Structure 1
């Protein structure tokens, strides 16, 4: 694989950290763009691996960003897909990338396959689709990477809920992966010439919630788990009625955004999608072995650590 010059915004985030480590381990030249004027542990580790750390205190300054992006092949926005990021920040980053001559822009996705949804599926996805229209019209190359779920959020554990919590249709296949695998496969995909102007779907693991619950019982038969289920009808109602408060135990999404995401995943069954414009990581990287859900659900630290 040809080595690329890659800039990452959001390198210290949940997906950004393993993605950036992956890029560096693959030998790419990496620029980490950060607003932080003082190095933290992650930035120091990136620098030791060979990354160049560039401080940009105003990530809405097109000229300053364009200067940092001079000579860069690919810009990756590995940041949470909050409304201000998608509507205000990403258009600025796209403008700066075009001004600097960047060849490929990778927007914040790393979750549900937005391109497979129609407008009206939810506020988060509608905002992303509007930005995608801007991206496609710009003429710059692009890659949309969809990892589906992350183990921490989608496998039964007590980290994000007080009980073992399930949602909607328990028989739907859930594509979910370990964060380290997501980061490394994203690093492979966003620098791969085959994925230019394509969607990429991570598809190594697929289990229904019924399968996950059965594994949990198999590995911890004597533990008195408490269970809670939110039905498809309840999710559908909340998707319409929830407000802009943030009441979840973990995460920064508003209640309306969160229930909208749950509706798309657990009612519509659209966490992953496989259309003509989507490449599968199992076909792109058939020799890569992902951590299996069984490994996580048999790990006491994963299941019980809150």
Structure 2
């Protein structure tokens, strides 16, 4: 039975990956700094499904090495900012090497950074630097590129107070449900075809111009408050936005992501990329959750307990 270790296993994507690991019958070690008010319920839920918790500092390489010892796969889903990845993910890699982990999955889970040109953004450049380090050290790795995450990129009032769009409304990009990210991640992590490769998930394509028609289709008569940040503003903030609180994704870094996704269309490789495999071709038996299926769920759009009476099921 393969054994996985995951750092960040109670975050949005990490929790789904953790559940899939356990559902597939694999062993799981949740590696974290310990229980907090925000993660305790998820840790306990995963432990109830069979996960084992290991608590240690995320900068203590010997302790992390012990946590990863005997694991086939180590997955990093730490807070995705350039500063955090640059300062902290190296400790996880060093521990994975010392523990002789079979495969390392770094904190990607977004745009295809392997195919991006240098200078596309602080976060993307930091991820590319980390990819080069893994290659130089000879660490077997797999990069997961799901495009944008449905929870954040599809229009909803659970995470936001208004529906906000950015840049060019007709710029198309792929979106993926976290459950599908989990299924592809677990399969790819154990698949020899995916060693030192990226895995692109691009089953659902959409553009921001589709947002309001989709909402009107399923919630006729409801008025959604919207605002648009035009391309010129995105480009300006991507170059000159503030860099305050680098560990919490500063303004400049956020808009560099918006620039890549909604202006430059860099979410996936523009041309076939030799080191990127297609998830649908790799795993044709996976049926991916579609955009309409998600938008038609009023709890996704409005949030639990906040669905207007007219749309309650």
TM-score computed with the length of structure 1 as normaliser? 0.91
1:136 alignment counterpart? 135
Bigger mean CA offset, 220-229 vs 233-242: 220-229
Quote the offset at 1:37 in angstroms.
5.3
Partner of 1:294: 292
Q: Deviations over 1:144-199 (max 9, x none)?
A: 00111111211122234432221122222221122222222222222222211110
How many residues end up aligned between the 2 structures? Answer: 299
For residues 50-129 of structure 1, the aligned pairs below 5 Å read 50-56=50-56, 58-129=57-128
Contact 1:20 1:187 in 2 (8 A): no
Counterpart CA distance in 1 for 2:224 and 2:76 is 38
TM-score normalized by structure 2?
Answer: 0.89
Q: How far apart in 2 are the matches of 1:30 and 1:193?
A: 20
CA distance in 2, matches of 1:138, 1:37: 33
Query: Which residue number in structure 2 is paired with residue 40 of structure 1?
Result: 40
Is 2:253 the partner of 1:253?
no
Structure 1 residue 218, shift from structure 2 partner: 1.9
Tell me, yes or no, if the aligned pair for 1:145 and 1:190 is still in contact at 8 Å. Answer: no
Distance 1:226 1:50, change over 3 A: closer
Judged with a 3 Å threshold, the aligned counterparts in structure 2 of structure 1 residues 179 and 37 are, in CA distance, closer, same or farther, namely closer
Give the Cα separation in 1 of the matches to 2:27 and 2:84. 25
1:1-306 to structure 2, matched below 5 A, reads: 3-36=1-34, 40-56=40-56, 58-245=57-244, 252-273=248-269, 274-305=272-303
For residues 177 and 285 of structure 1, what CA distance do their matches in structure 2 show?
15
Q: 1:40 to 1:159 in 2, by over 3 A?
A: closer
| SS state at 1:109 partner | coil
Deviation at 1:220, TM superposition (A): 2.3
Structure 2 unaligned regions, length at least 5:
307-313
